[in-house]
């Protein structure tokens, strides 16, 4: 294993450990800005079709995909955290949802070229990955030609303030995951660089900017 691959593996294990540890607490927390979350769901729904097969990367405890499941043919929802996936599966059983499959999977393993998903989603994900370009490439590999990437990312570079100093300390103490301090422009440039054409953007909520981006794969 190369030194870079070993470093990525170590970082993945640290991230997994963090999310496993907080999974139950995370599942109990209410949505902080309910109206912004509902706007996001409404915007995503306008791009979904009953025949679509969808992939969500970083699904957490599955709330978003379970809410949207009735609008598509099937959803494969993945997360690095074993505990998050366990909770999501329990929620799916309780809801009687049968067209969502939850699978523990590292982001690097998310590419499934044979699947040809119509839509790949990464909600509240991209600011939490260290290899942004690699994550976008992997998600693009999972799309069918012309498929849609739908993401929502906290862009703290547009006014991070004291958090740019606090977050690294919290991460060192094991109290926070990796968080990328990026601007909206940096996020969108990375999406375009990965071979996408941006179709729609919005901030839900406005502060800190939670940048909603819909992009269509056009090839590099």
Q: What is the CATH number of the domain that holds 205?
A: 3.40.50.150
Closest CA to 92 of 106, 103, 81, 108: 103
- What average pLDDT does this structure show over 98-111? 83
Closest CA to 155 of 187, 177, 132: 187
pTM of the model as a whole: 0.86
Give the per-residue pLDDT at 23.
86
Among the ranges given (16-20, 55-59, 171-175), the one the predictor scored with the smallest mean pLDDT:
171-175
The percentage of residues in the chain with a pLDDT greater than 90, rounded to a whole number, is 64
Containing structural domain, residue 174: 3-217
Coil, strand or helix at 73: coil
Q: How many domains does the chain have?
A: 1
Give the per-residue pLDDT at 61.
96
- What average pLDDT does this structure show over 191-197? 97
Task: Tell me which residue has tokens 């547009």.
Answer: 158
Report whether pLDDT(29) > 60.
Answer: yes
Report whether pLDDT(201) > 50.
Answer: yes
Task: Tell me which residue has tokens 């706007």.
Answer: 39
Secondary structure (DSSP) of 104-115? E--GGG---TTT
d(C-alpha 14, C-alpha 20), whole Å: 10
């Amino acid at each position: 294993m190369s030194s870079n691959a070993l470093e990525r593996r170590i970082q993945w294990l640290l991230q997994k450990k963090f999310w496993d540890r907080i999974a139950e607490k995370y599942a109990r927390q209410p949505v902080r800005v309910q109206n912004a979350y509902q706007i996001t769901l409404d915007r995503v729904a306008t791009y979904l079709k009953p025949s679509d097969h969808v992939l969500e990367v970083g699904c957490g405890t599955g709330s978003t995909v379970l809410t949207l499941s009735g609008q598509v043919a099937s959803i494969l929802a993945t997360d690095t955290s074993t505990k998050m996936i366990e909770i999501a599966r329990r929620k799916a059983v309780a809801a009687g949802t049968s067209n969502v499959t939850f699978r523990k999977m590292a982001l690097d393993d998310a590419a499934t070229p044979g699947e040809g998903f119509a839509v790949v989603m990464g909600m509240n994900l991209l600011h939490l990955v260290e290899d942004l370009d690699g994550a976008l490439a992997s998600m693009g590999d999972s799309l069918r030609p012309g498929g849609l990437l739908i993401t929502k990312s906290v862009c703290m570079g547009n006014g991070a303030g004291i958090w740019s100093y606090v977050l690294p300390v919290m991460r060192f103490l094991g109290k926070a995951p990796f968080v990328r301090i990026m601007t909206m422009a940096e996020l969108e440039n990375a999406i375009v660089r990965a071979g996408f054409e941006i179709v729609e953007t919005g901030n839900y909520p406005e502060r800190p900017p939670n940048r909603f981006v819909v992009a269509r794969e056009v090839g590099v």
